[in-house]
Amino acid sequence: MKMKTIEITETPSLAATFFRALGTGGKRPGPVKALPKVELALPRVVLDAQHMARYAELCGFQATQGVPLIYPQLLTFPLVSAYVSSPECPWPAMGTVHLANSITQHQALRAGDEVRVELGAGDLFAHDKGQVFTLKLRVLRGDVLVWSATQSLLRVGVKQTSGPPYVSQIASDLPMSLQAEFSAGANLGRRYGALSGDRNPIHLSAVTARLFGFKRAIAHGMWTNARALSCLLPSEPLDQASLAVEFKTPLFLPGRATLWSARSSRGALFEVRDAKGQRPHLRGQLSY
User: Does residue 164 register a pLDDT over 80?
Assistant: yes
Q: Specify the DSSP element, H or E, that contains 52.
A: helix 49-59
Predicted local confidence at residue 17, as pLDDT: 62
Strand 96-105 relative to strand 241-247: parallel, antiparallel, unpaired?
antiparallel
For the 1-166 domain, the top CATH level (class) is: alpha beta
pTM, entire model:
0.91
CATH of span 168-288: 3.10.129.10
Q: Domains of the chain: which residue ranges? A: 1-166, 168-288
Domains 1-166 and 168-288 share a fold: yes
Q: Which residues touch 100 (CB under 8 Å, ≥6 apart)?
A: 151, 152, 244, 245, 246, 247
- Strands of the sheet containing 241-247, edge to edge, are 4-7, 38-46, 114-127, 130-141, 144-156, 96-105, 241-247, 280-287, 267-274, 255-264, 177-184
pLDDT in tens, 248-260: 999 999 999 999 9
pLDDT in tens, 119-154: 999 999 999 999 999 999 999 999 999 999 999 999
Q: Which residues touch 5 (CB under 8 Å, ≥6 apart)?
A: 38, 39, 40, 41
Query: Which of the residue ranges 7-21, 26-40, 93-107, 120-134 would you say has the lowest mean pLDDT?
Result: 7-21
Predicted local confidence at residue 281, as pLDDT: 98
